[in-house]
Amino acid sequence: MSEKITPYKDKNRSKKEQVAEMFDTISGNYDGLNRVISFGIDIKWRKKVVRLVSKTKPKRILDVATGTGDLAINLSKTGASEIIGLDISSGMLEVGKEKIAEKKLDTIISMVQGDSENLAYEENYFDAITVAFGVRNFEHLEKGLSEIYRVLKPGGIFVILETSMPTKTPYRQGYKFYSKTILPLIGKLFSKDKSAYSYLSESAAAFPYGEAFNNILKKIGFIEVIDNPQTFGVATIYTATK
């Protein structure tokens, strides 16, 4: 499912390669586009993630698929002494590094190029791990989640923010229209990469959410798995622990 949907529909290249290339290409206008396509609501969702993480008073946090680092930057409010923002796209990381340097947060936040499916950290290393709009881009979802599970401390918090689908009428129909018609159009208007925003809506439509995603987390070994739909269900915040 999430393995079959790729940005450039190029059968000769892995999803990972295509995803990295796509985010490298759109990195310069990713932040602006993000605000437009979510009407700025993503800022509110990220704040909720930070509140959930803050409650656990973490010292070391890993933000997987950090992109341009918005969540990592917000996570500095938790009082953590070490935050690592990890991503496969060097283009996204470069944009993030500039923002972090401007905010003088580079003593706390490091932006690291790496693959969620093969994390270079020892077991039980992080007190908290977050992923915002990242899991549906993983080439092998369960491998990525297992790696996160491995490096999370027992009792540590794992928070995922990901797109989902409203289940109630008329929100469901409204969301389908928006994601199939408006979203690719905005992508075409604002981005050099025409495939990028069709990929974003196609991958969102195919990705498991709610109970289906809870079950995947539980299968990996996570416990106390809770899904909390946001804004009519267009996104969901999942929390879990180990």
How many Cβ atoms sit within 10 Å of the Cβ of residue 230? 16
Token readout for 185 is: 């159009």
Unique residue bearing structure tokens 């915040």: 237
Token readout for 45 is: 């969702």
Q: Which residue lies nearer to ligand SAM by CB, 112 or 169?
A: 112
Restricted to residues 162-181, the positions that interact with ligand SAM (CB under 6 A) are none
Residue span 86-115 as binding mask against ligand SAM, x where in contact by CB under 6 A, dash where not: xxxx--x----------------------x
Restricted to residues 122-161, the positions that interact with ligand SAM (CB under 6 A) are 132-134, 137-138, 144
Rounded to a whole number, what is the distance in angstroms from the first to the last CA of the chain?
A: 26
- The one-letter code for the residue type at 193 is D
Cβ burial, residue 105 (10 Å; 0-12/13-18/19+): middle
Residue 76 CB-half CA count within 13 A = 15
Rounded to whole angstroms, the Cα distance separating 94 from 32 reads 16
Q: How far is the CB of 27 from ligand SAM (least distance, A)?
A: 8
Residues 49, 161, 147, 199: is their CA dihedral positive or negative?
Answer: negative
Q: How far is the CB of 160 from ligand SAM (least distance, A)?
A: 10
Q: Which residue lies nearer to ligand SAM by CB, 142 or 224?
A: 142
Using CB under 6 A as the binding rule, whether residue 116 contacts ligand SAM is answered as yes
Token readout for 84 is: 């690592």
Of 100, 117, 151, 238, the residue at the interface with ligand SAM (CB under 6 A) is: 117
Q: How far is the CB of 170 from ligand SAM (least distance, A)?
A: 27
Restricted to residues 46-65, the positions that interact with ligand SAM (CB under 6 A) are 65
Q: How far is the CB of 154 from ligand SAM (least distance, A)?
A: 24
Token readout for 196 is: 């990028």
Residue span 4-33 as binding mask against ligand SAM, x where in contact by CB under 6 A, dash where not: ------------x--xx--x----------
Unique residue bearing structure tokens 């290249």: 13
Q: Which residue lies nearer to ligand SAM by CB, 173 or 228?
A: 228
Residues that bind ligand SAM (CB under 6 A): 16, 19-20, 23, 34, 65-67, 70-71, 86-89, 92, 115-117, 132-134, 137-138, 144
